[in-house]
Amino acid sequence: MLIGGHVSPAGGPAKAVERGEEAGCTAIQIFNQNPRAWAPRVYGDDEVEAYRAALDGSPVEAVLIHAIYLCNLASEDPDMREKSLAAVTGSLRSGDALGAVAVVLHPGSALKGDVGAALERAAGGIAEALAESSTCPLHLEDTAGAGGTLGRTFEELARLLELAGGDGRLAVCLDSAHLYGSGYDVATAEGLAAAVDEFDRIVGLDRLGSLHLNDSQAALGSNVDRHAVLGKGELGRTGCAAFLSEPRFEGLPCVGETPADRKQGFTRKDVDLMWRLRREGMTERGLEPAPRPRRRRRRQPSR
C-alpha cells in the first residue's frame, strides 16, 4: 500500500512532491487549481519538468489530483454544468501532463431533483470529460449521501460507470468516512470485509483504484460528511487500522485528508500515525507487517 496525505501545491507541483517527501509520503493528493474558484490552472512546460525532476528518486510513487469541490456535473443549470465540465476536463489534462495516477471526482448532486436523471447527466459529463482528455484515469469517489449527492451506494457507483460507457479509464475511490456515513459499517475488520465483498459483487474490485482514509465525526448511516482526526472519530484506531490493513487494498494509493493540525497540513507525524495504524491492523489480522519503504536515493545529474 502507498500511504500519504493531501498536500498543498502552492508554488507548483514540484513543491507538492517536496512537501510529500518531507512528510514521509509514498502517495500524495493535490488540487490542480484553487478549490474555491473556477479559475483554471494550466501547468507550463517548466513546471512539468521541475515536477518530474522532483519525483526522480523521491519516495512519492503515486500522485492523485482532486477535482475542485465546486463541480457538479449532475446540475440542471447549464452554466454550472459548463463550468464543472471545464474544471474536470482541466484536471484530467493536468493529470495527463503530470502522469498522475488519477483525478478523484465527487460525482455530483441531484439536489432535490430526480436521482436517476441526475445520474444520467453526471455520466454524460464524465464521458465528455474523458473524451476531451487523453490518458489520465478518473476515480469516482463514494459519498456520504448528504444533500442528494450521487455515489452514496455501490449501486449508484456501478450505475454511473455503466451510464458513462464503462470506459477503461474509469474507476472508484473509496473513502472510509463516506462509507461509514452512508451506512457501511467499516469500523471493524469484519464489517470492512463485508463491505468490500459487496463492492466486488456490485462494482468489481478491478474498478477499485484509490483510497481515502478519514475518520468520521458523524454516526453510522447519518449521511453526514464530517471528517475527524484519525483515530479520534467513530471509526477509531480499530477502524482506521482495519482499513489500512485490508488485504484487498494492497498496492493501492491511500491518502489521508484530515491532518491533526489543519492549519499546518499533513506532516510526518500524521503519516507516521498511518503507518503505525497499518502495523496494528496487520498484527491484529495475524499478518507480518511489511516494512515501511525506505527513501530512495536521488539520481545524480549527468555531467
Are 107 and 122 spatial neighbours (Cβ–Cβ below 8 Å)?
yes
For the CA atoms of 104, 94, 160, 194, what is the dihedral angle to 10 degrees?
-30
Residue 289 forms part of a structural domain: no
Are 33 and 41 spatial neighbours (Cβ–Cβ below 8 Å)?
yes
Residue 67 forms part of a structural domain: no
SS3 172: strand
Residue 27 forms part of a structural domain: yes
Residue 170 forms part of a structural domain: yes
Are 180 and 216 spatial neighbours (Cβ–Cβ below 8 Å)?
yes
Range of 16's domain? 2-60+75-266
> What DSSP character marks residue 136?
-
The rounded distance, in Å, linking the Cα atoms of 2 and 69 is: 24
Element (H, E) at 199: helix 189-202
Residue 123 forms part of a structural domain: yes
pLDDT tens-place values along the chain, 303 residues long: 999 999 999 999 999 999 999 999 999 999 999 998 998 888 999 999 999 999 998 999 999 999 999 999 999 999 999 999 999 999 999 999 999 999 999 999 998 889 999 999 999 999 999 999 999 999 999 999 988 899 999 999 999 999 999 889 999 999 999 999 999 999 999 999 999 999 999 999 999 999 999 999 999 999 999 999 999 999 999 999 999 999 999 999 999 999 988 888 899 999 999 999 999 999 999 998 777 776 554 444 333
Residue 282 forms part of a structural domain: no
Report pLDDT digits (tens) over 288-299: 877 777 655 444
Residue 154 forms part of a structural domain: yes
| pLDDT value of position 293 | 72
Residue 274 forms part of a structural domain: no
Which pTM value belongs to this model? Answer: 0.94
The rounded distance, in Å, linking the Cα atoms of 289 and 146 is: 37
What's the CATH code of the domain at 165? 3.20.20.150
Half-sphere exposure of 238 (CA within 13 A, CB side): 9
Number of domains in the chain: 1
The rounded distance, in Å, linking the Cα atoms of 109 and 122 is: 9
Q: Which residues of 31-69 are buried (b: 16+ CB within 10 A; e: fewer)?
A: bbbeeeeeebbebeeebbebbeebbeebbbbbbbbbbbe
